[in-house]
């Protein structure tokens, strides 16, 4: 494979997962009118809850079945202030059940736990269970340490057979960076799963919901009644509901992985989905709302720790780049010349600043190189190519041979390009090259076969195999970071100002 391929799936990403209109069978869903608590919709398993036919409860007041005082108090306190799910306990016809309330603009969604809770643990009990996990994660100094700690502690708390954590790259492929498993589960540490495994539609839902629990992939989907919400006159949006039904293609995906139960927990960094923690079990495995809340807490802890580590690394990189930038500017003023100050043979230069292998400068009729660069004919053609782009800002790529055919023979030393325009009209540029980094990607199955349609095109299926599929990527350099590009822009501004001062002085 010559270059990186984007395996995100527009088809999968367009599926309306939030309007699936069925729920999983491990709980009950009840939709209430926000004003009078009149029952608008129920899941069709609600006869077990209300001890009467589900058709007959529509239009009735919830107060006929339980005391709604706590729900009304929560609505008054949180309805206008929180978009989060609010836990409460409801006693319905003598059954004391844990519930989650979603306060929407026109209605309230109640997710009610099906399993009877014999008793609840105190806050102290719960805190004792998770405080060591929190301390372990928060003491981690690196991404790998924090990830492995999260996987280990979550496995102790939840009892899943296997847990792995993967981080997304810029194309939304996920690489497993920590793992802990037992039994017959496959090992995926170091493997990369294509973006289509968690398509955009699913990724967006993780920004609304910290976790996704599927305790039994063989569950019988439970429909909502009536199908259309009588207040909104549309399918109800189940985006942030834990009970939301599961697309058939994902259930088949779990079957192909040989797991009966799964749970995915988000990792957020700077308000962006950074990664997921995937929990798998060989047999059905149910976690009650209370334990799910503990997982939600751990999600926040690992997200905060990952963010802190990355922000610290970012600060150190910015500090180092600032130091290099200051040195380069000082050298230019000391030399009273632009190119000798930016490209000295020894010490700090544009190569050390940007982690590059070679650089070329075309400036005021002079041609100067440092490090390993392509031959002059190729560079002069590259300059014409850049000049035709009429660049006003820094141009960069980590796949130059894919954009500029003449660079292909020089991919080993010039797969990455950072071009700083000095005077685009006269073809004056500072060009910085990065060498090729040949990558071997260990895919968890052939990423080109993520979706397989039946011959008639009516049904589609996920890939059946997750055996390692190696891909060799050529003609690609290390990508330029946001901080490096900002430094390059700062240098472009400085170069303009320095040239202007020189022109005025002369």
Give the residue among 128, 188, 116, 114 at the shortest CA–CA distance from 157: 128
Which residues in 20-52 are b (16+ Cβ under 10 Å) and which e? bbbbbbbbbbbbbbbeebbbbbbbbbbeebbee
Q: What share of the chain is helix, strand, coil (3-state, %, to 5)?
A: 35, 25, 35
Tokens of 145: 């340490």
Residue 333 has pLDDT above 80, yes or no: yes
Lowest mean pLDDT among 230-234, 381-385, 402-406: 230-234
- Distances from the Cα of 205 to the Cαs of 16, 64, 97, 101, 450, in angstroms? 11, 34, 26, 18, 21
| Residue listed under structure tokens 């050390």 | 352
Cβ partners under 8 Å of residue 46, min gap 6: 28, 30, 54, 57
Coil, helix or strand for 406? helix
What is the pLDDT averaged over residues 153-181?
95
CA 112, distance to chain mean position in Å, is 29
The pLDDT mean for the chain works out to 89
Give the residue among 453, 465, 11 at the shortest CA–CA distance from 193: 465
Give the residue among 311, 336, 306, 342 at the shortest CA–CA distance from 324: 342
Residue 472, pLDDT score:
84
Residue 2, pLDDT score:
47
Residue 81 has pLDDT above 70, yes or no: no
Lowest mean pLDDT among 212-216, 444-448, 492-496: 444-448
CA 398, distance to chain mean position in Å, is 22
What is the pLDDT averaged over residues 268-282?
96
Q: How many beta carbons lie within 10 A of that of residue 491, not counting itself?
A: 22
- End-to-end CA distance of the chain, in Å? 53
Residue 37 has pLDDT above 60, yes or no: yes
Cβ partners under 8 Å of residue 162, min gap 6: 155, 179, 180, 181, 182, 183, 185, 279, 280, 281
Residue 117 has pLDDT above 70, yes or no: no
Tokens of 393: 């800002």
Domain positions in the chain: 10-18+118-225+236-311, 27-113, 336-438+474-505
Residue 499 has pLDDT above 70, yes or no: yes
The listed CATH number (3.30.450.20, 3.20.110.20, 3.20.20.70, 3.10.310.10) that belongs to domain 27-113: 3.30.450.20
Lowest mean pLDDT among 12-21, 23-32, 275-284: 12-21
The residue count for the chain: 506
| Residue listed under structure tokens 């976690």 | 287
DSSP secondary-structure letter at 438?
Answer: -
Residue 13 has pLDDT above 50, yes or no: no
What is the pLDDT averaged over residues 466-471?
80
Phi and psi for 168 in degrees, rounded to 5?
Answer: -85, 145
Which residues in 94-117 are b (16+ Cβ under 10 Å) and which e? eeebbbbbbbbeebbbbbbbbeee
Residue scoring higher pLDDT (148 or 129):
148
Residue 17 — very low, low, confident or very high, per pLDDT cuts 50/70/90?
low
Cβ partners under 8 Å of residue 69, min gap 6: none
The 3-state secondary structure of 170-227 reads CCCCEEEEEEEECCCCCCCCCCEECHHHCCHHHHHHHCCCCEEEECCCCCCCEEEECC
Tokens of 404: 């500029």
Cβ partners under 8 Å of residue 352, min gap 6: 324
Same fold across 27-113 and 336-438+474-505: yes
What is the pLDDT averaged over residues 252-258?
92
CB 22 within 8 A of CB 222: yes
- Provide CATH code, domain 336-438+474-505: 3.30.450.270
pTM of the model: 0.86
Q: Would the CA dihedral through 373, 375, 378, 384 be positive or negative?
A: positive
Residue scoring higher pLDDT (70 or 413):
413
pLDDT digits (tens, 9 = 90+) for 303-317: 999 999 999 999 999
Tokens of 461: 């299926």
Cβ partners under 8 Å of residue 250, min gap 6: 462
What is the pLDDT averaged over residues 448-459?
61
Lowest mean pLDDT among 39-48, 146-155, 296-305, 468-477: 468-477
Q: Which top CATH class is 10-18+118-225+236-311?
A: alpha beta
Residue 18 has pLDDT above 70, yes or no: no
Lowest mean pLDDT among 47-56, 58-67, 129-138, 174-183: 129-138
| Residue listed under structure tokens 């109800």 | 236
What is the pLDDT averaged over residues 331-352?
94
Opening angle at CA 85, ends 149 and 199, nearest 5: 65
pLDDT digits (tens, 9 = 90+) for 214-254: 999 999 999 999 999 998 898 999 988 999 999 888 999 99
What is the pLDDT averaged over residues 406-422?
96
Q: Is 442 exposed, middle or buried (0-12, 13-18, 19+ CB in 10 A)?
A: middle
What is the pLDDT averaged over residues 411-436?
94
Beta strands in 340-457 (DSSP E): 358-363, 366-371, 395-397, 416-423, 428-434, 439-444, 451-453
Residue 214, pLDDT score:
97
Give the residue among 263, 194, 199, 206 at the shortest CA–CA distance from 239: 206
Residue 11 has pLDDT above 60, yes or no: no
Residue 151 has pLDDT above 50, yes or no: yes
């Amino acid at each position: 494979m010559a270059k990186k391929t984007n395996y995100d799936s527009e088809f999968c990403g367009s599926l309306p997962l939030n309007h699936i209109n069925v729920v999983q069978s491990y709980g009950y869903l009840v939709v209430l009118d926000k004003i009078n608590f009149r029952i608008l919709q129920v899941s069709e398993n609600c006869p077990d809850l209300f001890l009467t036919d589900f058709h007959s409860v529509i239009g009735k007041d919830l107060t006929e079945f339980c005391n709604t005082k706590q729900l009304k108090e929560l609505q008054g306190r949180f309805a206008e202030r929180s978009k989060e799910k609010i836990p409460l306990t409801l006693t319905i016809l003598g059954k004391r059940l844990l519930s989650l309330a979603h306060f929407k603009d026109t209605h309230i969604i109640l997710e009610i736990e099906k399993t009877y809770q014999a008793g609840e643990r105190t806050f102290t009990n719960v805190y004792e269970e998770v405080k060591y996990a929190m301390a372990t994660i928060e003491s981690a100094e690196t991404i790998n340490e924090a990830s492995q700690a999260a996987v280990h502690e979550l496995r102790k708390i939840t009892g899943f057979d296997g847990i792995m954590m993967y981080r997304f790259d810029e194309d939304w492929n996920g690489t497993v960076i920590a793992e802990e498993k037992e039994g017959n589960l496959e090992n995926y540490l170091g493997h990369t799963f294509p973006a289509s495994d968690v398509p955009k539609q699913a990724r967006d839902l993780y920004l609304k919901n910290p976790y996704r629990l599927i305790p039994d992939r063989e569950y019988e989907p439970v429909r909502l009644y009536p199908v259309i919400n009588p207040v909104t006159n549309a399918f109800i949006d189940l985006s942030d509901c834990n009970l939301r039904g599961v697309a058939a293609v994902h259930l088949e995906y779990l079957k192909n992985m040989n797991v009966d139960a799964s749970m995915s927990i988000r990792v957020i960094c700077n308000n962006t989905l950074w990664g997921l923690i995937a929990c798998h079990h060989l047999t059905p495995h149910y976690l009650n709302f209370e334990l799910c809340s503990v997982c939600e807490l751990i999600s926040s802890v690992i997200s905060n720790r990952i963010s802190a580590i990355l922000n610290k690394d970012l600060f150190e990189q910015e500090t180092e780049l600032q130091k290099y930038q200051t040195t380069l500017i000082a050298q230019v003023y000391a030399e009273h010349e632009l190119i000798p100050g930016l490209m000295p043979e020894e010490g700090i230069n544009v190569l050390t600043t940007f982690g590059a292998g070679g650089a070329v400068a075309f400036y005021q009729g002079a041609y100067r190189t440092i490090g390993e660069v392509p031959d002059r004919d190729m560079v002069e053609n590259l300059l014409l190519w850049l000049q035709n782009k009429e660049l006003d800002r820094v141009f960069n790529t980590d796949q130059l041979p894919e954009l500029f055919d003449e660079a292909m023979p020089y991919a080993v030393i010039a797969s990455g390009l950072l071009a700083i325009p000095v005077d685009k009209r006269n073809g004056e540029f500072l060009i910085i090259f990065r060498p090729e980094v040949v990558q071997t990607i260990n895919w968890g199955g052939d990423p080109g076969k993520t979706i397989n349609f039946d011959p008639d095109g009516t049904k589609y299926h996920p890939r059946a195999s997750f055996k390692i599929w190696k891909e060799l990527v050529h003609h690609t350099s290390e990508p330029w970071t946001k901080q490096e590009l900002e430094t390059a822009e700062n240098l472009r501004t400085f170069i303009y100002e320095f040239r202007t001062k020189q022109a005025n002085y002369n």
